[in-house]
Structure formats: structure tokens, C-alpha cells
Amino acid sequence: MTLIEPRVSEPKAIRFFARRRPWNLWGLAHRPTAHDTGTGLPRLELVWLGHYIVPVKVTSRRGPGQIDVAVEGHSGAFSVFERHRNLVERDIEEEAFPPRLTEAEAAAIGRKELLKTIMRRRGQLGKPTITDTLPPSVFYYPFWVYYYERRKGLLDIRVLDALVHKKAGPKNRSGILSAFIGADDAARAAFERR
């Protein structure tokens, strides 16, 4: 599998979640339960979320070129992809969730979001024009997921980007929850087919 190796170790992730507490509207901290309540919580896990690299052909006054964009395979989160040197080939031992979006959907999202990004740039001169979209390829990106019981019976998660050591954005969190739900639905369907 093609993936980006995590730079944040498990001890660093534990320290990150231990020092950061979610706050409610009244400014009071919700402290994750420190004891095992029989549910196996709190718990930390490394998960891999499938992303697409969408190569987009562009042309500008400088001539033709290519901009690669990354599209997260569940929520459609978009970014310009510049981490080609970080891509490696190896097997994944932890939980990996393949993209739910099709290649065509990812290519359409990548093209549309890149166009928005180009149009937001200041000035009209030198802006590239999108000419074509090439077939996407899949890679897996690491996230640390911290599961805890916010209050008795209420499960919650917090997500840490395992590459840049920052709290994951809302779209990434949404994508991880979508992947969990999709995996649960697939397991339920397989069980019902028996």
C-alpha cells in the first residue's frame, strides 16, 4: 500500500490528548474518565484513512504544468498535495479504511476545489487555467484517534493528525466517523448474509 508514515509516536499522542481538554459553552472542562468503566475506554488507536492524489493539468503564461491535489476519500476534504517525497510502499498493520468516494467523484471534487483556490488568488495575471484531470491514485494518511466517555454512556472521539502533530480539522473528523460507520455497515451486511 502507498502511505505516508506517521511522525507522531504513541507517547507523543498520549501527551497531546492529556494536555488538551474539550471545553463546553460554560467554560467547564469535560475530563475524559481516567478509569476503565468496563468499556475499554479511554483508548488510543492509529487509523489510516484513504485519500486520492488527483493530478490536474494546468496551463499558464509560464507554459503547461501539473498541480497535484489530495482529496480525502470519505468527507472530500481538499488540499494541494506537496508530500510526494513522504510517500512509501509498505503493508499497514493497523485499521485502514479505503476511500468511499469513487475515482470520478474525487477527480470532480479536486478539480472544483482547485479552481476555487486559484480564483481566490489576488490579481488576474499569471493564474493557471485547468485543462485536464488525470486518473487519481490512492494513498493512506495516518490519524491518532482518542476514544473516551464524555459522560456515562456518551462516547466521543478526538483526532490528531499523525504527520503534522496538530488537531485534525472538522472535515477529517467527519471523514473518520464516516469510515467507522461504513465499516460497521459492511460488517453488519456480511453478518446478515450468513
For 136-177, write each residue's pLDDT tens digit: 999 999 999 998 887 777 888 899 999 999 999 899 999 999
Higher pLDDT, residue 35 or 144: 144
pLDDT, position 32: 44
Mean pLDDT along residues 9-23: 78
H-type alpha helices, 33-162: 103-120
- Asked whether residue 15 carries a pLDDT value surpassing 90, the answer given is no
pLDDT digits (tens, 9 = 90+) for 52-94: 999 999 998 888 989 999 999 999 999 999 999 999 999 999 9
**46: nearest Cα among 108, 3, 2:** 3
Q: Which range scores top for mean pLDDT: 27-31, 102-106, 179-183, 186-190? A: 102-106
- Asked whether residue 28 carries a pLDDT value surpassing 50, the answer given is no
Reply yes or no: is the peptide bond before residue 42 cis, omega within 30 of 0: yes
**Is residue 134 a contact partner of residue 57, using CB atoms and an 8 Å limit?**
yes
What does the DSSP 8-state code read for residue 168? P
Instruction: 29-38: list long-range contacts, CB under 8 Å, 24+ apart.
Output: 30/150, 30/151, 32/146, 32/148, 32/149, 32/150, 33/148, 33/149, 37/149, 37/152
pLDDT, position 17: 86
% of residues, the chain, pLDDT over 90: 58
Q: What cell numbers appear for 139 in the block?
A: 494513498
pTM for this model (two decimals): 0.82
**147: nearest Cα among 26, 40, 42:** 42
**Is residue 168 a contact partner of residue 161, using CB atoms and an 8 Å limit?**
yes
pLDDT, position 155: 84
